[in-house]
Amino acid sequence: MSAVLKDNRISVEDYLKGELLSEIKHEYIDGYVYAMAGANINHNRIANNIAGELRQLLKKLPCDVLTADFKVNINHRKFFYPDVVVICNHNNADEYYTEKPILIVEVLSDSTQRKDRTLKRLAYQALPSLQEYVLIEQDFLDVEVSKRSALWDSHHYFLGDEVYFESLDLKLPIAEIYHRVDNEELREFLQQNNPQN
């Protein structure tokens, strides 16, 4: 769980300057700064898998697939570090954040899922540019995609499915997202489909 770093509110300018110097990443919410906890190997594998696959599929387009060191700015009141963010035709004056993501991915953990499902979901969906918000479970196989075109209604994808990213007109198999991830559901699936192991 994130912890409040300071009791006093700080300005956006002070937050952004501090992030350039800090060895620890912090998120900014209405003047308060919150330290971010590290992520486990499954979390990193999922984020890297989806970023790598999207990067490969988008390499001929003017789009960037950025990972957890790049911030999303919501009205200069909130700054978050999504696990994966896709931006296209990026011409922001700032090289450390965007205000115009088209797709955002968060990998869920016990300590982050409440914020990812509530506060961040509402903040991200308020951005006019955002077309899709993706939540990926790390402890079991479930990819939830909320689309602006469906009035932010969610669709869930499971093992054997292909996730369709409407904003990018791309399909990505669930198996690629969860490649080398070690969780009980995936182990059971592999055991059933490969009984010799």
Q: What is the pLDDT of residue 37?
A: 85
pLDDT above 90: residue 63: yes
**DSSP string of 184-195?**
HHHHHHHHHH-T
Calculate mean pLDDT across residues 17-24. 94
Phi, then psi, of 73 in degrees rounded to 5: -100, 120
Position 1 scores a pLDDT of 46
As a whole number, the mean pLDDT across the chain is: 91
In sign, the C-alpha dihedral spanning 148, 154, 34, 177 is: negative
Distance from C-alpha of 180 to C-alpha of 90, rounded to nearest angstrom? 32
pLDDT at 197: 53
Mean pLDDT lowest among 1-5, 65-69, 122-126: 1-5
In the predicted model, is pLDDT for residue 54 greater than 70?
Answer: yes
Rounded to an integer, what distance in angstroms lies between the CA atom of residue 44 and that of residue 93? 29
CA 28/CA 143 separation, integer angstroms: 26
- The pTM of this model reads 0.90
Q: In the structure, what pLDDT confidence band is assigned to residue 190 with cuts at 50, 70 and 90? A: low
Using CA atoms, how far residue 20 sits from 24, 50, 147, 167, in Å, is: 10, 26, 33, 31
What span, in angstroms and rounded, lies between the C-alpha atoms of 188 and 186? 5
CATH topology of domain 39-193: tt1808, chain A (3.90.1570)
Closest among 84, 124, 117 to 100, alpha carbons compared: 124
| Amino acid (1-letter code) at residue 142 | D
The structural domains of the chain, with segments of one domain joined by +, span: 1-37, 39-193
Tell me the residue type at 154: S
- The model's pLDDT over 100-138, given as tens digits with 9 standing for 90+, comes to 999 999 999 988 899 999 999 999 999 999 999 999 999
Tokens of 19: 């992030």
The arithmetic mean of pLDDT across residues 79-83, rounded, is 97
Residue tagged 């006093």 (tokens): 8
pLDDT tens digits, one per residue of 141-173 = 999 999 999 999 999 999 899 999 999 999 999
Question: Residue 135: left (phi > 0), alpha (psi -120 to 50), or beta?
Answer: beta
Say whether pLDDT at 84 is over 80. yes
